[in-house]
Structure 1
C-alpha cells in the first residue's frame, strides 16, 4: 500500500478527530455510550480535568454574547460580526465535544484485556497475557501531553496521562507495540495511565489476571 505524505496523513488524523468528537458529543447528548462486553467494567479518567474544562466552557459561553455586543457597536460590517459569532459557537461546541469524548470513552477492563483510552485519540488493548503485574501509584509527568514516552533502566515507558499525571503502572511481560495517534509505537516495557479510581481498576485487573494467568495477580 502506498505510504501517505506527512501533510496528507496529518489531514486525515485531524478530520478523523473532528468527526469522532462530534459523534462523541451526539452520543453523550443522547446518553448512548458504547456498550460493554459481558464481564467488562468501565473506569473514568476525566475527573482530574473536569473542573478546568467546565470553567473554559462557562467562560466561552459568557464571552460569546459580550464579544458579539462589542462588535455590533464597533465594527460596521455585519459579515465580520456573523463570522466571529459562528466561530465562537463552533469553539464552544468543540469544547463540549472534547468533554464528551473523554466521558463516553473510558478505560475498560474486560476478559480480553485492558483497553486504554484518552478521548478518541488513544484507543488500544493490552491483552492480559502480556501483563506481568498492575500497581497503583501516582506519578507526575513533565508536560500535559496525553501521550509521552520516557526511558528507564528497564526499557521504554509509555505514559497515557491526564492532567500531567498517571495513577496506575502496567508492567509488561515482554516489550509490546501499541497503536498511538501517529501510528504504532516502538516496543514499550511498561504502560502508565490515569484513572479516577485507580484502586478499583487495579483490583478488577488483578481479578482478570488471576483467571487468565493464575499466580500473576500479586
Structure 2
C-alpha cells in the first residue's frame, strides 16, 4: 500500500468518526429501512467510557496545574480533541451495527469496516467463540489453503460465517486475496446466527428464476 493510500484511508477513517459522532448525537443509527441490526460493541464500551471519563477529568486538572498559558492552551486543545475522538470512536461502533436484510449480511466495525455478503455466498453460520491475537481489528488467518478473516472486538469473535466459495473482500488486511470464512463479534451471537440461518434457508428455497 502506497503512502497516498494510507493517507486517504486515515482521512476517511477520521471523517467517518466525526460523522458517527453527529449521528449518535442525533440518535440516527446507520440502519437502512428493512434491515435488522446486531450490535457488537458491548465488550469494549466499559473500557472506552473509562478512558473518556479519565480524559474528561485530566483536561481541567492539567489546565489548573500548569503555570504556562501557551502550554495550557495547547494541551487543552489536544486534550479536548482526544476526548471527542474517543467519544466518536464509541459512537462509530454504536451507530454502525452489523445488519441483516433481504440481500444478506452487512458486516461492520465502526466507520472503518463495511463488508456486504449476499445470501447466495453464505454457506453456513455458527456460534464459536475465538480469541484473536494482537490488537488489530481485522486479522487474517492462514489455515492450510483456507484463509479466514476475523473482525474482532476486544480481541475476540463469536460468530463464524462460512462462505460457499472464497471471495475477495474490500478489506486492506486481506491483501486482495480470496477468503473462505468470516469471523465476527456480536453482542448476541445466538440471535445473529439464527437470523443468518433463516436467511440462508430462505435463499436456498427461492427458485433461481425468482432471484431478485
TM interval, short-chain normalised: over 0.9
Match of 2:83 in 1: 92
Match of 1:124 among 115, 135, 155: 115
Deviation digits for residues 95-137 of structure 1, max 9, x if unmatched?
Answer: 0000000000000011111100000110010111011100011
- Determine if the alignment matches structure 1 residue 156 to structure 2 residue 152: no
Equivalenced residue count is: 206
Match of 2:9 in 1: 13
The runs of 5 or more residues in structure 2 that have no matched partner are 207-212
Match of 1:179 among 167, 170, 174: 170
3-state SS in 2 of match to 1:108: strand
- Determine if the alignment matches structure 1 residue 50 to structure 2 residue 45: yes
The residue correspondences of 1:180-199 to structure 2 (distance < 5 A) are 180-181=171-172, 185-199=176-190
Deviation at 1:14, TM superposition (A): 1.1
Q: Which runs of 4+ in 1 moved over 4 A?
A: 181-184
Contact 1:156 1:188 in 2 (8 A): yes
3-state SS in 2 of match to 1:213: helix
**CA-atom RMSD in angstroms:** 1.6
Deviation at 1:154, TM superposition (A): 5.4
